[in-house]
Amino acid sequence: MNHQYLSIGAVERDSGIARDTLRVWERRYGFPEPLRNDKGERIYPEGQLRRLQRIRRLLDQGLRPGKVVVLNDADLDVLESELYPDQSTSDSIEHILTVLQSSDSSELEARLSQLYQQQGMEPFITETVIPLLYTVGERWAKGKLQIFEEHLLSEVLTRFLNSEISKLQKNTRKPRVLLATLPGEEHTLGLLMFAALLSSRNICVTNLGGEVPLDQIVLAVERLNADVLGITFSGAYQYENIRSNMNQLRDSIPANVDIWLGGEGVKRMRKLPKGVTRFTSFDKLPF
């Protein structure tokens, strides 16, 4: 199969739109318009995934599917310009994007390292990494960056941050914070940025990474004597599953272990279980 075509599972994962919803929209609105592979399974061109990601972002703003799903790319441009005015990017971020599009991973890492040395970890995350990832996401959704370029940035940034976090963790103290994402959540950069910020504040962090089964998280909390469990959810995570997972975790780990939630996926949540705290911004951390 051509790598530019994606399975319905991949589209569900990367758009945050359930496959049943995709099928309903296909019948009701005529979009998405999947092709079929030689097994008769739905496959989606990459351009349709981009459009679906744009649609999901608009739905998160309270718009109804009937108004948004039927729009073409030009109409989506107009609607997005009203809801998301263009944000200027700094010269340093534009330079990173230029290096990224040259596909020179060594130069990309060197540029990130230079900014890190100038800024220190916390400003590097808040003033460089977060706006950089936002800009990359916007340009990818609008077809101005390739998907491999987004993946290249993620790979280089992950390698770089892990290296620097390891150095910072040599002189850390309590509380002990355990980080993970749940099954179905493959996006781990938010988790990594969380770990980087805590490390910069000399907090002891263990990052288990992505898609860790709930029972293993519960066991790790016990074995590692964690004081805090941090879980992140990207905007692509199935929203309806977040609360049930949190209730299960809250019931399964000791009451004296705090649970922190972060990421785009939890911004809409209102009432939370006792002992669960939501952080929608990296500058709201309690330490």
Residue ranges covered by each domain of the chain: 5-83, 99-165, 172-284
Q: What is the mean pLDDT of residues 117-137?
A: 91
Q: What is the mean pLDDT of residues 280-284?
A: 67
pLDDT band at 274 (very low <50, low <70, confident <90, very high): confident
pLDDT of residue 1: 41
- Taking the model in full, what pTM does it have? 0.77
Tens of pLDDT along 27-62? Answer: 999 999 999 999 999 999 988 998 998 888 788 777
CATH topology of domain 5-83: Multidrug-efflux Transporter Regulator; Chain: A; Domain 2 (1.10.1660)
The phi and psi torsions of 116 (rounded to 5 degrees) equal -60, -45
CATH topology of domain 172-284: Rossmann fold (3.40.50)
Mean pLDDT computed over every residue of the chain: 88
Say if residues 1 and 220 touch (Cβ distance below 8 Å).
no
Q: How many CB atoms lie within 10 A of CB 277?
A: 14
Q: What is the mean pLDDT of residues 5-11?
A: 91
pLDDT of residue 2: 44
In this structure, which CATH number among 1.10.1240, 1.25.40, 1.10.760, 1.10.3470 belongs to the domain 99-165? 1.10.1240
Q: What is the mean pLDDT of residues 256-262?
A: 92
Quote the CA–CA distance of 217 and 253 in Å, as a whole number: 9
pLDDT of residue 87: 62
- C-alpha distances in Å from residue 52, one per residue of 57, 73, 141, 230: 9, 11, 9, 29
pLDDT band at 192 (very low <50, low <70, confident <90, very high): very high
pLDDT band at 3 (very low <50, low <70, confident <90, very high): low
- Report the run of H or E that residue 139 belongs to, with start and end: helix 130-141
pLDDT band at 14 (very low <50, low <70, confident <90, very high): confident
